[in-house]
Amino acid sequence: MMKWEIERKFLVKGDTWRGQGQSRILRQGYLARTADRVVRVRQDGDQGFLTIKIRSGTDLTRSEFEYEIPLPDALALIDSLAPGEIIEKKRHVFNELGMLWEVDEYSGANSGLIVAEVELESEDQPFAKPDWLGEEVSRISRYLNVELAAKPYMGWKEEQHLAVRQV
């Protein structure tokens, strides 16, 4: 089913967000990628998903088509990828200040990176920002999961890590 995805993404500072809500492990990889669209396969617990995301002209809004697929199919597709192309993260989901937040704590080749996302109804929707939010990275492409699969966080040059360390 198609829906519009409008999300803002931020680096996370401190640990005051920890211990809230539910957590789960996600594994995902990208089967296809062009300048304006990606096809992702994801394992989310005992469920599998195939997702197509298409950029709609802005950096914040994309059309998203997501379909549940049998878990064995998702695992076979993930396993067909090279180990470095797979993103692994622990997702923490909770409400704070009236918004649903997803905090992704990456592992593997992206260890050390923690990013928070909030989905909005419109690009200009106002929302309160928790004190643990750092720099906004919504329009910085290297923080997209598809980019992290191709160029993992641990391989970034030292100066690219500085912004993360300062928050």
Catalytic residues, which ones? Answer: 30
3-state SS of the chain?
A: CEEEEEEEEEEECCCCCCCCCEEEEEEEEEEEECCCEEEEEEEECCEEEEEEEEECCCCCEEEEEEEEECHHHHHHHHHCCCHHHCEEEEEEEEEECCEEEEEEEECHHHCCCEEEEEECCCCCCCCCCCCCEEEECCCCHHHCHHHHHHCCHHHCCHHHHHHHHHC
| Cβ-based neighbour number of residue 163 at 10 Å | 13
